[in-house]
Amino acid sequence: MKINAKMATPIEEKIDHNLKIRTGMVNVSDGKSKPEPLRLNLTMELVTLQRLEVVTPTNAQHNGPPMESKERMVQITRQKEGGLGLSIKGGAEHKLPILISRIYKDQAADITGQLFVGDAIIKVNGEYITACPHDDAVNILRNAGDIVVLTVKHYRAATPFLQKQLAKETPDSDNDATCAELKADEGYKSSVDNGTISRSCSRPMSICSEPEKKWVEVVAVPLMMAYVTRYIYGTDKLRPNAFEVRGLNGASTGIIHCDDLAILSQWLKLITDNVVGLTHLQMKLYNRNFAVGERIEYMGWVNEGVINNNISWQSYKPRFLVLKGTEVMLFETPPRKTFAVSHHGKSGGLTLDWQSGFSLAEGADSAIVWHYKFSQLRGSSDDGKSKLKLHFQDHETRAIETKELECQVLQSLLFCMHAFLTAKVASVDPAFLSSIQQT
């Protein structure tokens, strides 16, 4: 993928929730097709490319609830500010399901594009909440972890009433009063009595009917353990006016080509500074577990020359280099990390590995007690000190299994886990893969 900055705007800075974002417009191509305009965003942890798309009622994510009232599974990533970004009404004490009564714009639930006012929450992380009182449901949602999987079913009979309440209702309005009004509402009762389905949109009418333009993410590359290169991949040929950002396991921004050398130099410095800063922070976290003579002095990507007598040119492969104590180590991907933990009172080692995911080993023979892929993680919670809960979903039964651990370097474990997870998601981003195929 090739990014040409002939029409690039100067790199701008803005503050979003105290996070500095640097952004600029570029043109993007795969090197063969006609370039398209994209926006390049840079934060401390991430470099992102976005495409401006026209959102219409036919292609919008927010084009109203599903036509058929079937159970759906929706994954939400909790935000530091705003949480899940939704409010609920109902509860077992009112003989009503737990209903989503409000979705806050640009917050976690809204970003999914798959949740709607009038959705009844059936399960939270695989656990039924249909028999829960309202307050219990609120507590379950608040303590469900950072990654929450909701099983929902749209309840169109309640949607028109809930939609009307949005204009006059405050977020903390009385649930009892709202439920009483809902059960007394003539439109709600007639829909239930007649078995008819209201097709009213559960979002504001302007969103449902009017086209709008929206920046849609094309690809995001985590900068943790990433590298910036100006060489053509696999060769020693230097690109005169271009560079590429590559993350774990080959996740890539594509080729960023800048005819304006000043903009090229500025992007190179900004991105490189962020990569170096994150790498040094990760080294400090790793070194907490090592003695002085065994600490990591350097880690980062290099290119290893591959000798092949059958070709007349030199080829290269990326390698991850670590200088640790008196050792020099090379890896095809950043090395896996093992943390000393306690599980049900027994000492063990929790290993995070790029390919295999999470695994816990115990005993003198380091026997594997349990193992889960990164894709099976559905949430986590911790006490901020040493205790950690990991919630995994079984592939066959779909049940949520919780593993409780204690780790004396909890923050280091959480930081490493976050780095692996974000990089793993970005490396298989479907929007990026499809964008390459369609250009």
pLDDT digits (tens, 9 = 90+) for 358-380: 999 888 777 889 999 887 888 88
Q: What is the C-alpha separation between 254 and 48, in angstroms, rounded?
A: 11
**What is the pLDDT, as a whole number, of residue 433?**
32
Q: Could you tell me the residue ranges of all domains in the chain?
A: 2-53+217-332, 72-209, 337-422
Q: Which helix (H) or strand (E) holds 338?
A: strand 337-343
- At residue 57, the 3 state secondary structure works out as coil
Q: What is the C-alpha separation between 248 and 43, in angstroms, rounded?
A: 17
Tokens of 77: 């990533």
H-state helical runs in 323-438 = 410-427, 430-438
The yes-or-no answer to whether 2-53+217-332 and 337-422 have a common fold is yes
Query: For residue 115, which of 62, 170, 169, 57 has the smallest C-alpha distance?
Result: 62
Distance (Å) of CA 321 to CA 282, 296, 317: 14, 11, 12
Query: For residue 390, which of 335, 339, 336 has the smallest C-alpha distance?
Result: 339
Asked if 201 and 60 count as a contact pair (C-beta separation under 8 A), the reply is no
Count of CB atoms situated within 10 Å of the CB of 113: 12
CA 328 to centroid of chain Cα atoms = 33
Q: What is the mean pLDDT of the chain?
A: 76
Q: What strand order describes the sheet that includes 327-331?
A: 296-306, 315-324, 327-331
Count of CB atoms situated within 10 Å of the CB of 278: 19
CATH assignment, 337-422: 2.30.29.30
- At residue 222, the 3 state secondary structure works out as strand
CATH assignment, 2-53+217-332: 2.30.29.30
Multiple choice CATH, 72-209, 3.90.320.10, 1.10.10.10, 3.40.50.300, 2.30.42.10: 2.30.42.10
Sign of the Cα pseudo-torsion (177, 178, 181, 182, in order): negative
Q: What is the C-alpha separation between 47 and 61, in angstroms, rounded?
A: 24
- Per-residue pLDDT of the chain in tens (439 residues, 90 and over written 9): 444 444 455 677 654 444 578 888 877 666 666 777 788 899 888 888 888 887 654 444 445 566 555 778 888 888 888 889 998 888 888 788 888 888 888 898 988 888 888 888 988 988 888 888 888 899 899 888 888 889 888 877 666 667 666 655 555 556 776 676 666 654 444 444 444 333 333 343 333 445 567 888 888 888 888 899 988 888 888 888 888 888 875 678 878 878 788 988 999 999 999 999 888 887 887 777 678 888 889 888 888 888 777 776 778 888 888 888 888 887 776 666 788 899 988 899 998 876 678 999 888 777 889 999 887 888 888 888 899 999 998 877 888 899 999 999 888 788 777 766 655 554 443 333 333 333 3
Query: For residue 137, which of 94, 74, 186 has the smallest C-alpha distance?
Result: 94
CA 418, 221, 249: angle at the middle one, nearest 5?
A: 80
Distance (Å) of CA 256 to CA 35, 38, 87, 112: 12, 11, 42, 29
pTM recorded for the entire structure: 0.49
Tokens of 318: 């990326």
Asked if 379 and 84 count as a contact pair (C-beta separation under 8 A), the reply is no
Q: What is the C-alpha separation between 161 and 166, in angstroms, rounded?
A: 9
Write 342-347 long-range contacts (CB < 8 A, 24+): 342/405, 342/406, 342/407, 343/369, 343/403, 343/404, 343/405, 343/406, 344/404
Asked if 148 and 62 count as a contact pair (C-beta separation under 8 A), the reply is no
